[in-house]
Amino acid sequence: KAGVTQTPRYLIKTRGQQVTLSCSPISGHRSVSWYQQTPGQGLQFLFEYFSETQRNKGNFPGRFSGRQFSNSRSEMNVSTLELGDSALYLCASSLVGGARTDTQYFGPGTRLTVL
Amino acid sequence: DAKTTQPPSMDCAEGRAANLPCNHSTISGNEYVYWYRQIHSQGPQYIIHGLKNNETNEMASLIITEDRKSSTLILPHATLRDTAVYYCIASTSGNTGKLIFGQGTTLQVKP
Please report which residue ranges of chain B form alpha helices under DSSP H.
Answer: 93-96
List CB contacts (< 8 A) between B93 and chain A: 94, 102, 104
Give the per-residue pLDDT at B3.
86
Could you read off the pLDDT of B48-88 as tens digits, one per residue?
999 998 999 999 999 999 999 999 999 999 999 999 999 99
CB contact under 8 A, B96 and A101: no
B38: closest CA among B87, B5, B72, B102? B87
Contact A109, A43 (CB under 8 A): no
Smallest CA–CA distance, residue A31 to chain B, in Å, is 7
Smallest CA–CA distance, residue A85 to chain B, in Å, is 16
C-alpha B50/C-alpha A24 separation (Å) is: 27
Query: What is the dihedral sign for C-alpha A60, B106, A23, B34?
Result: negative
pLDDT band at B93 (very low <50, low <70, confident <90, very high): low
Q: What is the mean pLDDT of residues A96-108?
A: 78
